Amino acid sequence: MSALWTSEEIAAATGGIASTPFVVSGVTFDSREVQPGDLFVAMPGTVHDGHKFVDQAFASGAAGAIVSQPVSGPHVLVEDTFAALQALGRASRERTSATILGVTGSVGKTSTKEALYAALDRCRPGKVHRSVKSYNNHTGVPLSLARMPRDAEFAVLEMGMNNAGEIAALTRQIRPDLGLVTAIAPAHIENLGSEEAIADAKGEIFQGLEPGGIAIVPNDTAHRDRLVRAARRYADRIITFGGGDADVHAIHAVAAEGGGSLISAALLERELTFTISQRGEHWVTNALAVLAAVEALGEDVAVAGLALADMAGLKGRGQRHMVPLEDGEVLLIDESYNANPASMAATLKSLGDERDVGRRIAVLGPMRELGEHSDALHAGLAPAVLGAHVDRLILIGDEMRPLAEQIVGKIALDLTATVDEAIEDLMQMLRPGDAVLVKASNSVGLAKLVEHVAKAPSCST
């Protein structure tokens, strides 16, 4: 077991008192995720207090805990466990010599974070750290920092937000050497009111840049200049990616055999032809962002390109399942984790670009946190649905009625009230050769539909 933290270091970082010497190899605040050797942080919760799960954590092999009340196992006693986690994250950032990359954006931030990790890990095997899942908020960021290995050479950390000021607080914890904004779209517009405000909130990432820091900015947004202005106050270097006059752009991109894209790109100092395994034009843009960052950091872009070619699909973000039926297979495309107008349009276009499939079926749930713009933005998906040549459309919930009203009579349409009803409708209509896209905001729970179809396919009809 390699030592991530000793009890003495934890106590020094948090201002706590260690009950006994111990060493940990990992950190978590979820008792269900405890692995042997982990440090369990007993976080206060809105539903359950983490202290109720300390015994469970020790039973699962935790080597120690951070607690605000005495427990029987090895622990560091602090006044506030959340504040202690933040302090441990700060201590990790202070001691590391790693180059830190911060990633945010309205869409594509987790996918781009994973692609950056894959690219840098191919360049520096075993020396790259990243935030897992979407641990990108006020608890996930300090946890991701606290988990950073002592010998990491790079760390790729994601930052998310629901309101103005949240990225600013996170970027000051991360203190990135490179800050990357993937895209601006009307996600969280309910709280922020306008895309301009969203761009300003995402641009807060540059406020935490270390001296000599690099800003990576999307060119394909009406808010590019706004982001550039935000970066100019803090960044030593600003690089744009995407189309048009972007510093890093695709000379051409075509569909690759077996899926994905073959791209020839103009980078900062050279041109590179490479393939990416992920499908869709949005992934071409993601790849350009990744290579812009890799080249700006002085790493090998050709090696990074090989990693992009090998990258597998991400659960809930484009993972593809070939589901067997009695007489063939169904392609199930899992985009169930998140949805906003930009990502909906991008993934629907990818569905329309699918070749060698029979019917195209889209199962779409609501896009959340759109506030007063919700009806208009849902109705505005109609051109993307029609342009994707969808043969059957299943919509879930009253929030999708504005879209249904735009589509009715043009496509075979089912408007269902619940995910369970959508599952029943989909299972009855599936037949070999179908391509099924599943997409909604995560809170809708469409992962349940994906799991059901992937594990228990119906017989062909």
Which residues does the annotation place in the binding site for ATP? 105-111
Per-residue DSSP letters for 370-419?
-GGGHHHHHHTTHHHHHHTT-SEEEEESGGGHHHHHHHTTTSEEEEESSH
One-letter amino acid of 51: H
The CA dihedral of 223, 224, 228, 231, to the nearest 10 degrees, is 70
Q: Which residues on adjacent β-strands are paired with residue 392?
A: 361, 412
Cα atoms in the 13 Å half-sphere on the side-chain side of 105: 29
Cα torsion angle, 187, 191, 195, 201, sign: negative
Cβ atoms of 113 and 178 within 8 Å: the answer is: no
Dihedral pair phi/psi, residue 11, rounded to 5°: -65, -40
Give the residue among 291, 268, 241 at the shortest CA–CA distance from 118. Answer: 291
Q: Which residues on adjacent β-strands are paired with residue 266?
A: 249, 271
Give the residue among 354, 358, 347, 346 at the shortest CA–CA distance from 429. Answer: 358
Residues in binding site: 105-111
Question: Which region holds residue 409: left if phi is over 0, alpha if psi is between -120 and 50, else beta?
Answer: left
Q: How far is CA 376 from the centre of its chain?
A: 26
